[in-house]
Amino acid sequence: MFLNDPEAVKVFFLRSAYEAHRPLNRLAGGVNLRFLSQKGRVGMPRIREARWLAPGVRWFVVEAPRVAAKHKPGHFVIVRATSDGERVPLTIADSDRAAGTITLVIQQVGATTRTLCALDVGQEILDVSGPLGKETEIEKYGHVVLVGGGVGTAVIHPQAGALKKMGNRVSAVIGGRSKDYVIMEEELTRLCDAVYPCTDDGSYGYHGFVTGKLQDLIDDVADPVHAVITAGPVPMMKAVAEVTRPRSIHTVASLNPIMVDGTGMCGGCRVMVGGKMRFACVDGPEFDAHQVDFDELRDRLTAYREQEKAALERLRAGESSHPCRIGLGVAG
Ligand SMILES: Cc1cc2nc3c(=O)[nH]c(=O)nc-3n(C[C@H](O)[C@H](O)[C@H](O)COP(=O)(O)OP(=O)(O)OC[C@H]3O[C@@H](n4cnc5c(N)ncnc54)[C@H](O)[C@@H]3O)c2cc1C
Ligand code: FES
């Protein structure tokens, strides 16, 4: 994790200190963070590839050699799109050490993810800090089922290869509301023994929720399920935990609380697991799904809805008063 890298830690804390004292820095002429970045040799991460995977879901391959060098399944990064914007946590969906790149799959849900999804090849992301979080415990379980909902499919992608390498039989159950929203089927097919796409409207694959398909797999006594790893919307992860609980199948959920610093300092990402408070950024983000208080997580995720709505409205107002002309060949 990036805390083992003194140079990355130095740059991270210089940035955090700058953020904390931003008004003062502005008055005093400011510290040029990009200059700090260059001195620390952590350049602005440039986008090498970008494409839409599904409506509102964008795939990026980003230059981040230091992060790529240390990435393990389960890790995430904290990304900023603009110097006055929020820090958003995003899972590292894949990495290529030789190329020095990481893959991010981003669903636009609010102001920051919308700003990020508007970026294109050749443009730069302000900064990417990581890898953060604990890596997934990869063991030889036997038959492991990965359950991904929506953009959660990108979260379970790195685990597929690692579990397979460990000698597991790996199945993936991936869901979307319709065919267009099922993502990364091809990538998972390359890594898994079986992939089961599911759609709410029956337009592709299994007709129904991922939990229905998971229940079918669990009920198949000829091919028992030994472990489940899930990522996606909170109600889906909660439902997955309820499907596996009666058979006591080891189940891990990758939690997605709101995060700020990502290093255990702010307490923003606290979750209740087995009656104890844990920080998802340093203790997780993966936890025993049967121990997680999903209702509390859901409530915390919606606590800032008004502020998030206001931020999105400000962004939209800015967009309409300054329409984007990138790609239209219009100068000025
Ligand atoms: C460890 C971790 C890994 C993640 N990986 C990914 C990823 O790979 N791809 C991806 O698209 N998203 C991922 N997320 C979720 C992502 O961080 C949020 O969607 C993002 O912070 C929203 O920021 P925003 O400013 O665009 O929206 P906001 O304005 O902050 O929020 C808009 C809406 O999104 C909801 N929301 C806010 N934060 C989260 C959150 N953390 N999880 C779910 N819903 C949220 C809000 O309740 C609100 O309804 C991850 C979250 C965590 C904690
Ligand atoms: S994000 Fe601040 S403690 Fe986890």
Helical spans, DSSP H, in 192-302:
210-219, 234-244, 280-283, 294-301
Q: What pLDDT score was predicted for residue 29? A: 27
Q: Which long-range contacts (CB under 8 A, 24 or more apart) does 20-25 make?
A: 22/84
Best residue among 79, 258, 266, 301 to mutate for probing ligand 2, ranked by most atoms within 8 Å of CB: 266
> Ligand 1 center to residue 149 CA distance, Å?
14
Span 2-132 CATH architecture: Beta Barrel (2.40)
**β-strands 286-288, 250-254: how paired?**
antiparallel
Q: What dihedral angle (degrees, nearest 10) is formed by the CA atoms of 259, 317, 302, 74?
A: -30
Q: Nearest ligand to the C-alpha of residue 155?
A: 1
Q: What pLDDT score was predicted for residue 194? A: 97
16 neighbors 261 (Cβ within 8 angstroms): yes
Sheet holding 206-207, edge to edge: 206-207, 194-199, 169-176, 143-149, 227-231, 250-254, 286-288
> Ligand 2 center to residue 93 CA distance, Å?
21
Q: Nearest ligand to the C-alpha of residue 86?
A: 1
210 closest CA partner among 242, 162, 254: 242
Domain ranges of the chain: 2-132, 138-251, 255-322
236 neighbors 149 (Cβ within 8 angstroms): yes
187 neighbors 93 (Cβ within 8 angstroms): no
Q: What pLDDT score was predicted for residue 2? A: 46
Sheet holding 76-80, edge to edge: 87-91, 76-80, 127-132
pLDDT by 10s per residue, the chain, length 332: 444 444 444 444 444 444 443 333 333 222 233 333 333 445 689 999 999 999 999 999 999 999 999 999 999 999 998 887 788 999 999 999 999 999 999 999 988 999 999 999 999 999 899 999 999 999 999 999 999 999 999 999 999 999 999 999 999 999 999 999 999 999 999 999 999 999 999 999 999 999 999 999 999 989 999 999 999 999 999 999 999 999 999 999 999 998 988 999 989 999 999 999 999 999 999 999 999 999 999 988 876 666 665 666 666 666 544 444 333 333 32
> Ligand 1 center to residue 223 CA distance, Å?
35
Q: Do domains 2-132 and 138-251 have the same CATH topology?
A: no
Strands (E), 177-223: 194-199, 206-207
Q: What pLDDT score was predicted for residue 86? A: 85
User: Counting atoms of ligand 1 from 1, which one is nearest the CA of 311?
Assistant: 29
Q: pTM for this one?
A: 0.83
Quick one: which H or E segment has residue 311?
A: helix 305-321
Best residue among 58, 80, 86, 88 to mutate for probing ligand 1, ranked by most atoms within 8 Å of CB: 88
What type of residue sits at position 95? S
Q: What dihedral angle (degrees, nearest 10) is formed by the CA atoms of 263, 265, 266, 271?
A: 70
Q: Nearest ligand to the C-alpha of residue 255?
A: 1
Q: What pLDDT score was predicted for residue 89? A: 95
**Cis upstream peptide for 45 (omega within 30°):** no
| Alpha-carbon gap, residue 55 to 280, rounded angstroms | 28
User: CATH fold of 138-251, please?
Assistant: Rossmann fold (3.40.50)
CA of 151: how far to CAs of 56, 58, 202, 310, 316, in Å? 10, 10, 19, 24, 23
| Alpha-carbon gap, residue 168 to 250, rounded angstroms | 14
Residues in contact with ligand 2 by the CB-under-6-Å rule are: 259-262, 264-269, 279, 281
